Structure 1
């Protein structure tokens, strides 16, 4: 009985330690979600400023945009996953969504160049027959998003000029209320219809801004900022979704551990009480045996 109680006590302590770890991870996930949400919110003003700049740049200059580039059969797709586990079906969902999108883009995996953000999805995509050209780690903090975006922009430029790829697609999760869902966003080529609509959009005041740069230099700079905003948003939304999935997993684990811990505690007390009762009965039985008067012998 003593060994059984000691084993149960150790199981209770292990469950309590695991419960503390889960609660810490739950708090960290909630804090990370808020940081990512604030990053996306702060990006809105910057994105609006870039859009305003593009509106002025293409105003009365829509003819200089040229025609839509001739679409090729080759695509570069950037898929965003996670580096860490314990985030539920986060990676499985984005992998399944990406595989379905691949089939709509081309029938040949050779026509796809894949960039993976997050080591957890590399094996899943390769097992499905889609090799990864290069993988990047997920930023550990919001401050590390900007360097990752710059690295990805550099890789995209290399693919454009060295391999002639002119079509780029982003696939990532984005927050949807208290949950998340997979989404896609075309990075390049930039939607010409959107630019033409900007050129005819009414300006928000009576005075138009002016610029002194050459038009081509200004437009090129604004396009690079637009690409930066798009990639930054993809990183932040994917990280927010990952932590949302992890928070849900930790909440479920917390509930399960609480139930298991309550059952262990109840069983431990029952067995302990049973042991105490048995010891008391042994003591009473021994006392009665010692105090019992011997029977008189019959002649």
Structure 2
């Protein structure tokens, strides 16, 4: 049977949990903004890389050369990189991206890389343990070093394991949905994208010239494009993760408020019952003492 003391303890614990949830809400809201700003800040550099590819492709076209290959001498073997999360309390975020990954994994998928320990654990439990696991940074400042690590690993896959196609899968925000799975091609760069870059107009009057070896320049530009795509995908995925966590914390806060209202009502009823019982004891005692006096 619940007592006033036990109800008071429950109310105190509920208040503390609510305080933690509010703190997590605030952190998620701030983090969403930070990752959105990080993604937007990359647009200028992305434009620079695209202009470099445009200049190179137009120079090749002027010399009668075809569209270049943007991946090494790989085979038909494919690699899939999945971005999940390291932390929990984010609703169905990992489940959504893991289900999408399971649908894309096929016989030609020779390598599976996962960014995020929780998504890696889900894939391993589903019978497809990842070949390489990366851990997400705790802040925007750690994104660049993670991207560089992934690029080095992708380069190793193409050279040592004959990977000829690398695809990236992650969640992103879309409208009112906090997590929608999105796939992107890392390597090779699709021919449609190369043709779009080739046909893009140059912003200035004079065309640029360069003395660097074409193959080396192409390799460097492809690597920078990988950096841009991976960085943007990670920023979108982390913003989606925090948006999903924010929604989960909002639902939890509503449940906690409902629970706290129920506990307050029960506490008031129990307190009134206690007061009534004590008054009845006093009245009964007074009547008993009065009866003995008569």
TM-score normalised according to structure 1 size: 0.91
Which residue of 1 is the match for residue 4 of structure 2?
A: 5
TM-superposed CA distance for 1:219, in Å, is 2.3
- Greater radius of gyration (CA): 1
Paired residue for 2:151?
153
Tell me whether 1:100 sits opposite 2:103 in the alignment: yes
Residue 206 of structure 1 is matched in structure 2 by: 205
- In structure 1, list runs of 5 or more residues that go unmatched: none
Give the one of 79, 83, 86 matched to 1:83. Answer: 86
CA 1:135–1:112: 2 relative to 1, 3 Å: same
Any residues of structure 2 matched to 1:157-236 within 5 Å, and which?
Answer: 157-178=155-176, 179-236=178-235
Worse overlay, 62-71 or 34-43: 62-71
Gaps of 5+ in 2: none
Deviations 1:168-226 (A, max 9, x none): 01010012134230000010011123212212222223233333433333222211111
TM-align CA RMSD:
2.0
Give the Cα–Cα distance (whole angstroms) in 2 for the partners of residues 130 and 290 of structure 1: 81
Per the TM alignment, residue 68 of structure 1 is displaced from its structure 2 partner at its CA by 8.0
Give CA-to-partner distance per residue, 1:59-80, whole Å, 9 cap, x none. 1314254468788442110011
What whole-Å deviation, never above 9, does each CA across 1:38-64 have from its counterpart, x for those lacking one?
111111111111111111121131425
Separation in structure 1 between the aligned mates of residue 292 and residue 89 of structure 2, nearest angstrom: 69
In 2: Cα distance, 1:85 partner to 1:250 partner: 12
Instruction: Name the CA distance, whole Å, in 2 between partners of 1:11 and 1:50.
Output: 58
| TM-score, normalised via structure 2 length | 0.92
TM-superposed deviation, 1:14? 0.9
2:47 maps to 1:48: yes
